[in-house]
Amino acid sequence: MKKILVACGAGVVTSTSAMNKLQEELTNRGIDSDKYTLGQSSVAQVESLANDYDLVITTTQYDNDAIKIPVINGLPLLTNIGVDAVIDDIIDKLDLN
């Protein structure tokens, strides 16, 4: 099971919206929820939590060379502009097919 961390500024509202959209899009592509699990945090917590996850999705700009797992900009999950490319990237990086 792949573990995905979704992070936003405060770790509550925006990341919840992004998680809901992510689940919807993965379901639409036929990816069962038993293949992944989601966690939620603020961007300030990402570095300390990253070792427990396979992928991080942030809704804000985030650069940290200490993170050794893929970090994807998840803003399209909120705007619906470019969401297909983000979902493709997530599926590819986690090998969810």
Catalytic residue among 8, 18, 22, 50: 8
Q: CB–CB of 40/57 below 8 Å?
A: no
Task: Give SS3 for 38.
Answer: strand
Structure tokens at 51: 């070792």
Q: CB–CB of 86/56 below 8 Å?
A: no
**Annotated catalytic, 8?**
yes
List residues with catalytic annotation: 8
